[in-house]
């Protein structure tokens, strides 16, 4: 028998802030195919940390939709003989430990500036699809800011990026992609003042703790991968391979969003479209 810790381990990681759409199905189908081709394992991780955006109804919906679309996983906590998902909201202790390590090293700092301050300082446009503004260097706190705090709540925590350093994302499909820290992205959030671990931190902690060997996700997260590489390094964790896959666009060329119910898996199912037809719509990447 293969040692599961040394063979391929992938994951699918939906956020239950809406129903799954064709874009998710495409990413997950590719993740499933790659895991299968390697005789590896696939994990389901529900990324439900943002309580304001995530709803139990969507978590329930995603199990149904994954099942319907034939997107299965084969590892997870044992739930009555079935594979359960990992649920991020139940894994706070892991994130907290990482926060502490980063804080004690001085890799992150307490940032008292609000989102509004950042927007004002960068004069960022407010359009929805606009990329996050680069956090301005002049709003960066001094070395050691917040190190006396024993809990993260109450203030935003940001990772101090190494300005000017080239970060190489080695993508399995796209080859090497270079980002420059401090130019393409600035000091990024690792923990929010409302006491929610930020996506970048939670995903790195989980991918490392679950011994994921390859991360398959949408191309929209390429720059996030560059940020995450800095977190892997600061936390001394092994880096997985990355495979960023194309996003599904609608007929006007816009990427699908959770509000596009017509393209949700359940919307398609209700229209009488079969699982095979749905899978036929997906690219293989
Ligand atoms: N939960 C993220 C999302 O739904 C995906 C994160 C990832 O794959 O790293 O967009």
- State the closest ligand 1 atom to the C-alpha of 14, by its place in the atom list counted from 1: 4
In this structure, what are the phi and psi dihedrals at residue 26, rounded to the nearest 5 degrees? Answer: -65, -50
Q: What is the DSSP string of 217-258?
A: EEGGGHHHHHHHHHHHHHHT----EEEEEPPPB-TTSPBP-T
Asked if the structure places residue 225 within a domain, the reply is: no
Domain closes at, from 184, 205, 226:
205
pLDDT of residue 183: 96
Q: 132: Cβ–Cβ under 8 A, 6 or more apart, which residues?
A: 124, 185
Note whether residue 160 is domain-resident: yes
Report the predicted TM-score, pTM, of the whole model to 2 decimal places: 0.92
Q: What is the pLDDT along the chain (285 residues), one digit of tens a residue?
A: 445 555 999 999 999 999 999 999 999 999 999 999 999 999 999 999 999 999 999 999 999 999 999 999 988 887 777 788 999 999 999 999 999 999 999 999 999 988 788 778 776 554 444 567 899 999 999 988 999 999 999 999 999 999 999 999 999 999 999 999 999 999 999 999 999 999 999 999 999 999 999 999 999 999 999 999 999 999 999 999 999 999 988 778 888 777 677 789 999 999 999 999 998 888 776
Write down how long the chain is: 285
| Ligand 1 mutation pick, 61, 199, 215, max ligand atoms within 8 A of CB | 199
User: Going edge to edge, which strands form the sheet with 188-191?
Assistant: 108-111, 156-159, 188-191
Q: Which of 141, 172, 205 is the last residue of a domain?
A: 205
CB 85 near ligand 1, within 6 Å: no
Tally of domains in the chain: 2
Asked if residue 99 and residue 33 are part of one domain, the reply reads no
* Centre of ligand 1 from the C-alpha of residue 215, in Å: 10
Query: Which residue, 145, 173, 205, sits at the end of a domain?
Result: 205
Q: How far apart are CA 195 and CA 58, in angstroms?
A: 22
- Are 258 and 271 contained in the same domain? yes
Going from the Cα of 130 to the center of ligand 1, the distance in angstroms, rounded, reads: 18
C-beta of 196 in contact with ligand 1 (< 6 A): no
For residues 85 and 136, membership in a common domain is answered with no
At 126 the pLDDT is 47
- Ligand 1 in reach of 234 Cβ (< 6 A): no
In a domain, 242, yes or no: no
Residue 256 lies in a domain: yes
Quick check: is 199 in a domain? yes
Range of the domain at 85: 1-90+248-285
231 domain-assigned: no
210 belongs to a structural domain: no
| 38 inside domain | yes
Instruction: For residue 58, report the distance from its CA to the centre of ligand 1, in Å.
Output: 15
Is the CB of 45 inside a 6 Å radius of any atom of ligand 1?
Answer: no
Examine the domain organization and report whether 51 and 135 are in the same domain.
Answer: no
Q: Round to whole Å and give the CA distance between 243 and 230.
A: 18
Tokens representing 9 are 């381990």
Query: At 136, which CATH number?
Result: 3.90.800.10
Residues 78 and 145 in one domain: no
Closest Cα to atom 8, ligand 1: which residue?
217
- Same domain? 8 vs 64: yes
């Amino acid at each position: 028998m293969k040692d599961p810790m040394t063979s391929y381990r992938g994951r699918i990681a939906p956020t239950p802030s809406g129903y799954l759409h064709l874009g998710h199905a495409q990413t997950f189908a590719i993740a499933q195919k790659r895991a299968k081709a390697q005789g590896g394992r696939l994990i389901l991780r529900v990324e439900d940390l943002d309580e304001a955006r995530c709803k139990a109804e969507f978590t329930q919906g995603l199990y149904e939709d994954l099942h319907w679309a034939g997107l299965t996983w084969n590892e997870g906590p044992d739930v009555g003989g079935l594979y359960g998902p990992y649920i991020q909201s139940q894994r706070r202790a892991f994130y907290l430990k990482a926060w502490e390590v980063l804080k004690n090293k001085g890799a992150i700092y307490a940032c008292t500036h609000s989102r509004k301050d950042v927007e004002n300082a960068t004069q960022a446009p407010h359009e929805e699809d606009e990329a996050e503004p680069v956090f301005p260097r002049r709003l960066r706190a001094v070395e050691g800011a917040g190190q006396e705090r024993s809990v993260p709540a109450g203030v935003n925590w940001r990772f101090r990026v190494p300005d000017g350093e080239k970060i190489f994302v080695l993508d399995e499909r796209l080859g090497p992609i270079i980002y420059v820290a401090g130019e393409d992205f600035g000091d990024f959030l690792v923990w929010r003042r409302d006491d929610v671990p930020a996506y970048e931190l939670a995903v790195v902690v989980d991918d490392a703790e679950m011994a994921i060997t390859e991360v398959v996700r949408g191309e929209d997260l390429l720059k996030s991968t560059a940020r995450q590489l800095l977190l892997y390094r600061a936390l001394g964790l092994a880096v997985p391979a990355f495979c960023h896959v194309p996003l599904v666009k609608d007929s006007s060329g816009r990427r699908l969003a959770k509000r596009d119910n017509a393209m949700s898996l359940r919307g398609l199912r209700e229209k009488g479209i079969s699982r095979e037809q749905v899978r036929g719509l997906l690219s293989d990447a």
